[in-house]
Structure 1
Amino acid sequence: MKNLIKHILIVLAVTGVLFASCKKDFLNTKPQTEVPSEDTWKDGALATAFVNNIYTGLRNGGFEEQMLASLSDETVFTHPGRSINIINEGTLGPTNTGWSDSTYVWGAMYNKIRSCNVALQSLPSATIDQALKGRLQGEAHFLRAYYYQQLLRYYGGVPLITKIYQLGEADYTVTRNTYDECVKFITNDCDSAATLLKGQTLDKGRTSVAASLALKSRVLLYAASDLHDIPTAKAKSSVISGYSHPEFLGYLSGDRTTRWQAAKDAAKAVLDAAGTGYKLNLTAPVSPEEGKKNYIAIAMGGGSKSADVDATASSEIILARYFIANQVTNGESIGLYNGPNGYHNWAGNTPVENLVSDYETIDGRKFDWNNPSDKAAPYTNRDPRLYASILYDGAGWKPRDKISGNVDPANQIQTGSYQVGSGTLAGLDTRQSSIENWNGSWTGYYMRKFTDPDPNVVDNNTKQFIPWPFFRYTEAVFNYAEACIELGQDAEARNWLNKIRFRAGMPAITESGDALRQRYRNERRVEMVYEEQRYHDARRWMIAPATLGRKLIFMSVTGTLKPGKTAPSPYKHDESVYTYTYTPTIDNGIENRQWLDKMYFLPISQVETSKNNKLIQNPGY
């Protein structure tokens, strides 16, 4: 013990000598891994890095393993225990809000909004290049507007925070702003961004004048919709009618025509500023095969490795999240997440028959399971976008032997069960697959859109670099057409909708009035599938009870050998050998979906209301 004490005293003595001999500023040296906040705004590179970090709130766009499509009637998430069913079955509440991607989460969005506020407070006095200063201010205005928009379309009116809270504040609580105040704030930020970014040269993946206008267009379109016109919303929902603070949800009064006109004008501004889109100058439908190729090219956004995919379709993109080889993000694995299990993929978000049935026939007729011809051959002569978006039984796909062995020389999707002699063979892409049986689709379908069709891209182990489109030109076209319809300008709406349809190889729309409105909504549904539009559209149109709340429909496919025919070995889809039967089946086993009107708005987490007792909860919770 004496020796231990002796050693400690020696160490203390040496330490004391060292401190005494140091310069007085020893303790004032700057940390080598941090930059003082005041220095950030004295250096252009540091200021740029600060604003670059705000972009991280965009994350991977919609390219996460769990996609917003599975909160809608587009897809269902295959794997249990991910809290998606909590929302889809209506059991969500303040203490259990269910799954939400962080690009919508309250706390995550406010963290990024705070960073925007720091930038917008600091940049005016920054001693950096003036052009760069203006550009960074424009980007910060856009990003703040975007993050507030994310909150607005989930929760309704939220607190508008523009100050930077410090330690020792007397009060950190704040009330919610009205829906109207939020819309005005966001659109003002969009206008500021557009003004500041005018004439700026911006790298791919950064915002722009056109992106700022596109965000404004979306916000004003939503603002004009049924859900946010409180007299209309009250008439359609007793939950909203009984809510004592409807000002958080929409407009209590005012002229809807004025709001629709504002939405139309904002959309037209995008069309005028963002070029011409991709192949929207056609006067007649292209061939079905070209329509399919056009749609695949748009979905690839210039990111496909295939020489057969038109890279110029990237002109359709206004703002996107791009992925590069030296990054490690979920966005590079979207093919793995959603692809067929028979290719060793995970079958995460799989299309449901609710969606597939809404693709028209090639002549523009509504598909009908009660029509014997449609029922006998449901994947024949359909909208070309179906073939570019959905993998179904018998659809051709990539060479299977690159990942699963030489078990399917025909390279066809197999989601059915097929007669082989006196027995039955389970398809290679079913949950009874001989390749993998734990992760197959329950629905009979797989997602094709956003997966690089290049046969050399093996989704299971090869990164792909398809950009996620936050905004694309066609969304602005839809926004413009919708506003025209609501303003009674049917001819103008048809003109623009038919541009989209001709590009896809579909015939012109001729309807007027409510019939045109319904055709428009279906057109938007199939064109913008999986792009985080449908969940919000169904709510703002207040059609959610019949869409988001509809029971899931899966597809069962069986192949029965025709008399005198012998099953091919290995199996392949062959209508000269097999009679195929297609049976849509309601399934409540994965999710027993229902719609409750409280689900028009998500609950504010109890964590947030406990921290801020001035927050008033949304209706129904």
Structure 2
Amino acid sequence: MKNIKNILFALAFGSTISLSSCSDFMDISPSNEYEEEEVFSSAGLTQALVNRVYTYVKDGAKEHTTDGLTDDAYFTHNYGQIPVNEANISESDVQWYDNGNCPFRWSDRYKGIRYANLIIKNIGNVPHDDNYDLNQIKGEAHFLRAWMYTELMRGFGGVPLVSEVVADMNDVEAMKQPRNTIKECLEFILEDCKAAEANLPETVSTSDLGRVTKYAATALKARVLLHVASPLYADRTVNTLACNQYDGDRTELYRQAKAAADEVINCGLYELMDCRGGINTERATKWNKIITTNNNEQIWTRQFGMLSMDGIDRNHIPLQHGPNGYHNWSGTTPTQDLVMAFEFEDGTIGTGMTKPGDNQVGNPYNGREPRFYATVGTDGNEWGRPRPADAKGLDPTPLGRLQCGYYEVTDGDATIELSLPDGSKVSFKGMNGIDTRKGPIEDWNGSWTGYYERKLIDPTVDGQNYPQTVPWTFIRLAEMYIIAAEASVELNDLESAAKYLDALRGRIDLKSTKEALTAQGKSFNQADMREFTRHERRVEFAYEGFRYFDVRRWMIAPETNNKELTGVLVFARLKPGKTAYKPYIHNEDTWDYHYYIQSLKFRENRKWDNKMYFAPIKRDERNRNELLVQNPGME
């Protein structure tokens, strides 16, 4: 019998399967080894195997995800993301694309697909057991296979569709299979979604949160239909590889995507959270609960526990994304570009503070729409728990405030020199903000952009010592409204598109779509509505794993991924006649706050190459299977 370590980490496709305990859903600690035929002699063991398949679906509650490969974020610690952003990628040097946090990592998704294939092939042989629903297990296997193929297709384009169980992954001849076309992949995924819908329940109990349901399959169908209907797959100038081109009726795909989204919207099982009432920051707190709590807007999530001996499959986002002043790592940090994408409450979008050298005195974040405050942490923001003991008493308030700037004070403990984006230098006696690259706590983990991601974080959790229980949301109802809106725009049904968008905007008391278009100097026509809908999708789903795929399928990546990476430098100078007393707390009555936009090109010199529309297939995979055609430019 194979060694369990090899099974768990190499996942050899032989006759032995390693299973997790079936006592708790998603408990992935191994409990035993079983021969393949034994697994399907027991409904309980088969259930445990489908639990294992769930672990091959990659969530975004990780230190580094696709967001750092977009204009929304900068990842502080590289891990192979800089070469992707600088387009220095090939089949022999795939960098982050072979990282375990990549949602379309080739080897991991095909391992999960192999397990799903095993279940689908053998589920008919499993003896009935009143304690288990074999139809549900079958539906879960079909859904999970569809999900993993969707991720592979979104990352690589057309991929080999393996539906039969390969006895041994090391059998080179058995593994030789060419890439299927986008159309074939779409049809395969839709068939799996149909099978999932037929076998999955409409709802699950609280104890089974995290299991997929019928309408999760319908929602996935809406997502993948919209994706393939997009311009990238119709293009024949940049997208030159035949297997990556869709040759069907894209208009019909938009119709089907809208119909599937409508089916989820109208099923009566989910509802948009009402975040109206109060000032913008109060509405932000309500809106943030969509992401940080279990609620009726979520369609499919991954649930996390608090503690484990090995830390496997726990949500460590407070530690990985939080500010260094709390001993956190500031992994994925917002860019200035994303900051300026959020509207003001009157529907306008700021036109300044967008390029290096732009500056202003006074808070540029006042009057923004609620989603901004729920997504981005800026200097002076309340964080939610007291500072650690070694914070030198700089901010002992019950709710700590982010200190992302540099403070000029006569009794400061350092001489600070700042190089401003205009080339000038400022030298003064002062204090380095505790959450900066010059702060007193683990400055190597400080944010380069001057911002922190807060959307995915419960700021009351001590990220240094405890993981949070915030779920990861794979699918929520708002996406169905955005899908229906985008499809409606492409079908030139603008009134319907506005209706769907207004449902999302109205639940946070924003201006209607038509009012916002007017405020931005745009018209109610297809081109402006297309841009408006895409913008709405960006700010609604920031850090939920959408942007990487969206800029590619819309073919706007030459614009978004060629932008110079920028952040903010905050310099607080005492107002005339004012005195600052320790501890120094963000106070606009005491200081004039100067905000300078600075280039981060020295960290990442971002550039786009059209070869980056599709990820490279690793050379090792092509050596095993010479029938795999490489994506153009990645040889």
Report if TM-score (shorter chain) is over 0.5.
yes
Q: Deviations over 1:504-562 (max 9, x none)?
A: 23211104222122121111111101000011111111111111331111101111222
The equivalent residue for 1:584 is 597
Q: Which runs of 5+ in 1 are unaligned?
A: 1-31, 303-313
Q: Deviations over 1:129-174 (max 9, x none)?
A: 4872211111110011011011000000000011112256854311
Alpha-carbon distance in structure 2 between the residues aligned to 1:534 and 1:102: 14
Match among 342, 359, 365 for residue 359 of structure 1: 342
Asked whether 1:320 is paired with 2:301, we answer yes
Alpha-carbon distance in structure 2 between the residues aligned to 1:128 and 1:40: 14
Q: Is contact 1:344–1:403 with CA below 8 Å preserved after alignment?
A: no
Relative to structure 1, the CA distance from residue 553 to residue 141 in structure 2 (aligned partners, 3 Å threshold; closer, same or farther) is: same
Q: Is contact 1:83–1:98 with CA below 8 Å preserved after alignment?
A: yes
Match among 494, 497, 502 for residue 498 of structure 2: 494
My pick for the range that moved more, 557-566 or 165-174, is 165-174
Alpha-carbon distance in structure 2 between the residues aligned to 1:99 and 1:195: 37
Name the count of aligned residue pairs.
562
The equivalent residue for 2:289 is 297
Alpha-carbon distance in structure 2 between the residues aligned to 1:392 and 1:517: 30
Query: Alpha-carbon deviation of 1:293?
Result: 2.2
Q: Is contact 1:90–1:595 with CA below 8 Å preserved after alignment?
A: yes
The equivalent residue for 2:177 is 174
Asked whether 1:409 is paired with 2:396, we answer yes
Query: Alpha-carbon deviation of 1:416?
Result: 1.1
1:166-565 paired onto structure 2 within 5 Å: 166-167=167-168, 171-198=174-201, 201=204, 203-231=208-236, 234=237, 237=238, 240=239, 243=240, 245-246=241-242, 248-252=243-247, 254-273=248-267, 275-279=269-273, 287-302=279-294, 314-327=295-308, 328-329=311-312, 331-369=314-352, 376-405=362-391, 406-410=393-397, 411-421=400-410, 423-454=429-460, 457-510=461-514, 511=517, 512=524, 513-565=526-578
My pick for the range that moved more, 203-212 or 288-297, is 288-297
Alpha-carbon distance in structure 2 between the residues aligned to 1:169 and 1:87: 30
Relative to structure 1, the CA distance from residue 274 to residue 182 in structure 2 (aligned partners, 3 Å threshold; closer, same or farther) is: farther
**SS of the counterpart of 2:300?**
strand
Alpha-carbon distance in structure 2 between the residues aligned to 1:577 and 1:407: 16
Q: Is contact 2:405–2:571 with CA below 8 Å preserved after alignment?
A: yes
Q: Deviations over 1:5-51 (max 9, x none)?
A: xxxxxxxxxxxxxxxxxxxxxxxxxxx94323222222111111111
Asked whether 1:112 is paired with 2:112, we answer yes
Alpha-carbon distance in structure 1 between the residues aligned to 2:32 and 2:342: 55
Match among 63, 68, 71 for residue 70 of structure 1: 68
Query: Alpha-carbon deviation of 1:201?
Result: 4.7
My pick for the range that moved more, 45-54 or 93-102, is 93-102
Query: Alpha-carbon deviation of 1:103?
Result: 3.3
Relative to structure 1, the CA distance from residue 583 to residue 374 in structure 2 (aligned partners, 3 Å threshold; closer, same or farther) is: closer
Relative to structure 1, the CA distance from residue 128 to residue 370 in structure 2 (aligned partners, 3 Å threshold; closer, same or farther) is: closer
Query: Alpha-carbon deviation of 1:286?
Result: 6.5
Query: Alpha-carbon deviation of 1:589?
Result: 1.5
Query: Alpha-carbon deviation of 1:591?
Result: 1.0
> Could you state the TM-score of these two structures normalised by the residue count of structure 2?
0.85
Query: Alpha-carbon deviation of 1:570?
Result: 2.1
Relative to structure 1, the CA distance from residue 33 to residue 418 in structure 2 (aligned partners, 3 Å threshold; closer, same or farther) is: closer
The equivalent residue for 2:123 is 123
The equivalent residue for 1:611 is 624
Higher helix share: 1
**SS of the counterpart of 1:525?**
helix
1:77-156 paired onto structure 2 within 5 Å: 77-80=75-78, 82-100=79-97, 101-129=101-129, 132-156=133-157
The equivalent residue for 1:6 is none
Q: Deviations over 1:166-209 (max 9, x none)?
A: 25685431110000000000011001100111467562111110
Q: Deviations over 1:567-620 (max 9, x none)?
A: 332222222221111111222121111111100000111010000000001112
Q: Is contact 2:403–2:434 with CA below 8 Å preserved after alignment?
A: yes
Relative to structure 1, the CA distance from residue 170 to residue 419 in structure 2 (aligned partners, 3 Å threshold; closer, same or farther) is: closer
Alpha-carbon distance in structure 2 between the residues aligned to 1:594 and 1:63: 27
Query: Alpha-carbon deviation of 1:264?
Result: 1.0
Q: Is contact 2:66–2:102 with CA below 8 Å preserved after alignment?
A: no
Relative to structure 1, the CA distance from residue 527 to residue 286 in structure 2 (aligned partners, 3 Å threshold; closer, same or farther) is: farther
Q: Is contact 1:290–1:504 with CA below 8 Å preserved after alignment?
A: no
Counting aligned pairs with the same residue, the percent is 36
> Could you state the TM-score of these two structures normalised by the residue count of structure 1?
0.86
Amino acid at match of 1:489: D
Amino acid at match of 1:90: A
Alpha-carbon distance in structure 2 between the residues aligned to 1:403 and 1:532: 35
**SS of the counterpart of 1:99?**
helix
Amino acid at match of 1:475: E
Alpha-carbon distance in structure 1 between the residues aligned to 2:362 and 2:584: 21
**SS of the counterpart of 1:57?**
coil
Amino acid at match of 1:531: E
Q: Is contact 1:352–1:553 with CA below 8 Å preserved after alignment?
A: yes
Query: Alpha-carbon deviation of 1:376?
Result: 3.6
Q: Deviations over 1:475-525 (max 9, x none)?
A: 111111110111111111111111111222321110422212212111111
Amino acid at match of 1:429: D
Q: Which runs of 5+ in 2 are unaligned?
A: 1-30, 411-427, 518-523
Alpha-carbon distance in structure 2 between the residues aligned to 1:218 and 1:588: 34
Q: Is contact 1:390–1:448 with CA below 8 Å preserved after alignment?
A: yes
Highest Rg: 1 or 2? Answer: 1
Amino acid at match of 2:128: I
My pick for the range that moved more, 608-617 or 431-440, is 431-440
**SS of the counterpart of 2:149?**
helix
Relative to structure 1, the CA distance from residue 374 to residue 365 in structure 2 (aligned partners, 3 Å threshold; closer, same or farther) is: farther
Relative to structure 1, the CA distance from residue 134 to residue 420 in structure 2 (aligned partners, 3 Å threshold; closer, same or farther) is: same
Amino acid at match of 1:273: C
Q: Is contact 2:114–2:165 with CA below 8 Å preserved after alignment?
A: yes
Q: Is contact 1:285–1:506 with CA below 8 Å preserved after alignment?
A: no
Q: Is contact 2:273–2:297 with CA below 8 Å preserved after alignment?
A: no
Alpha-carbon distance in structure 2 between the residues aligned to 1:48 and 1:259: 34
